[in-house]
Amino acid sequence: MTSRSAKLCFSSVAIAAFGVVAPPRARAADYYAGRSIEMVIGADVAGGYDIYARAVARFMGRHIPGNPAILPRNMPGAGSALAGAHVFRVAPKDGTVIGALMPGAVMGRLLDEKATDLFDPVKFNYIGTADSGTRVCATYASSSTKTYEDALKQDTIMAASQAGGATRDYEALHNNATGTRFKIVSGYKGTSDMLLAMERGEAAGLCGLDFSSLKSQKPDWLRDKKLNIIAQDALEPLPELTALGAPEIWPYIKNDLDKRAVELVLSQQLFGRSYVVPPGTPPETVAILRAAFAETMKDPEFLAESDKLRISISASSGEKLQEVVARVHASPPEVIQRAKRIIEP
């Protein structure tokens, strides 16, 4: 498979229309009447994933017959793996617990040899994804690393989460696939802490941050040009970032196997804001939640709120998301093995 065809393959799977037909409303209303749903968010409070999940939780209940309240609960740790294990093994299989997971939790078992065996991402029932985003590498304005070429020539201290988090993985990916000289400092709890570290001068920058999260968390930094966006990571370029002068990673990767491995890693962004329920949840209940999620993504009030929060919505259905996850996990062994090495610091 060529680099271009691989991109098109992943991109075509990601583009989907919602076509879920909800079960009879009387039955659905009876099922959820008087009940509540817990949304387990696999990230810290105030980060990009938390902002998205809480916005979805505020609006999705009104599209579920019976109008159950959806109550957010943060369960950060191991790149959402703790939340994933909880939803997979502990949560009731009755549609009363939804997991909001980072892509790393879905990709971890495929790419991380130390990843938990407590859940199988392919077996989740996917409700949908709110965004298929582009991630960026950025440095603070005061950093001497102002371009990607600078990052190739000089050491740059980069803030990162623990193993399994996108920031650590993507910084390692750039080092191993293109030769950047990022010095990765792991252990930050969330992106809000990493951005604070940049402001304080503890770190020069970070990679693996969703551009939509950056716009939501630090709109003033973009407005006041306090950031150097030195690269954009996605299967296809984002025009907004291209206009800002952010280069793609592809011209800097010379090896074809490395390009295919990077494509595999970046394909996780196609399910950037995914919502799941446990395996074993009754199909009719999964259908209710998928239909409600689809309606939420079209809700004018939800979209207006998203604009206020500066979060982008590029949604795909649960059915298509299920296909993407299965396809990614069936990638050729040699590509998977190289992808594993590329994201190791």
pLDDT tens across the length of the chain (345 residues): 444 444 434 444 443 334 444 444 446 668 999 999 999 999 999 888 999 999 999 999 999 999 999 999 999 998 899 999 999 999 999 999 999 999 888 988 888 777 768 899 999 999 999 988 899 999 999 999 999 999 999 999 999 998 768 899 999 999 999 999 999 999 998 899 999 999 999 999 999 999 988 998 999 999 999 999 999 999 889 999 999 999 999 999 999 999 999 999 998 888 889 999 999 999 999 999 999 999 999 999 999 999 999 888 989 999 999 998 998 999 999 999 999 999 998
The C-alpha angle with vertex 42 and arms to 41 and 48, in degrees rounded to 5, equals 80
Provide the whole-model pTM.
Answer: 0.74
2: which residues sit within 8 A by CB, 6+ positions away? none
CB atoms within 10 A of CB 300: 7
304: which residues sit within 8 A by CB, 6+ positions away? none
> Token pair of 10, please?
């992943």
Look at residue 298 in the predicted model and tell me its pLDDT: 97
Pairwise CA distance, residues 82 & 15, whole Å: 29
Q: What is residue 248's DSSP assignment? A: B
User: Residue 178 in 3-state DSSP?
Assistant: helix
Domains of the chain: 3-132+268-342 (3.40.190.150), 135-254 (3.40.190.10)
The residues pairing with 125 across neighbouring beta strands, listed in sequence order, are 277
Look at residue 28 in the predicted model and tell me its pLDDT: 63
Pairwise CA distance, residues 5 & 156, whole Å: 34
- Find how far residue 35's CA is from the centre of its chain: 29
Look at residue 1 in the predicted model and tell me its pLDDT: 43
Look at residue 13 in the predicted model and tell me its pLDDT: 41
Pairwise CA distance, residues 31 & 25, whole Å: 10
Kindly list the distances between the CA atom of residue 84 and the CA atoms of 106, 115, 125, 329, in Å, as whole numbers in the listed order: 8, 12, 12, 17
Kindly list the distances between the CA atom of residue 258 and the CA atoms of 9, 141, 155, 174, 254, in Å, as whole numbers in the listed order: 17, 31, 22, 11, 8
Helix or strand holding residue 99 (H, E)? strand 97-101
| Amino acid sitting at position 332 | P
Look up tokens 């989460």; give the residue.
161
> Token pair of 131, please?
């965004």
| Amino acid sitting at position 344 | E
Q: What is the DSSP string of 271-327?
A: GTTEEEE-TT--HHHHHHHHHHHHHHHH-HHHHHHHHHHT-----EEHHHHHHHHHH
Considering Cα of 207, then 212, then 217, then 220, what sign does the dihedral take? Answer: positive
> Token pair of 6, please?
């691989």
| Amino acid sitting at position 249 | I
> Token pair of 274, please?
């995914």
Pairwise CA distance, residues 271 & 325, whole Å: 8
Look up tokens 């990493």; give the residue.
194
Look at residue 116 in the predicted model and tell me its pLDDT: 66
Q: Are 133 and 211 in contact (CB under 8 A)?
A: yes
Look at residue 91 in the predicted model and tell me its pLDDT: 98
Distance separating the N- and C-terminal Cα atoms of the chain = 27
**What's the order of all strands across the beta sheet hosting 316-317?**
69-74, 36-41, 97-101, 274-277, 125-129, 316-317
Look at residue 117 in the predicted model and tell me its pLDDT: 82
Look at residue 79 in the predicted model and tell me its pLDDT: 84
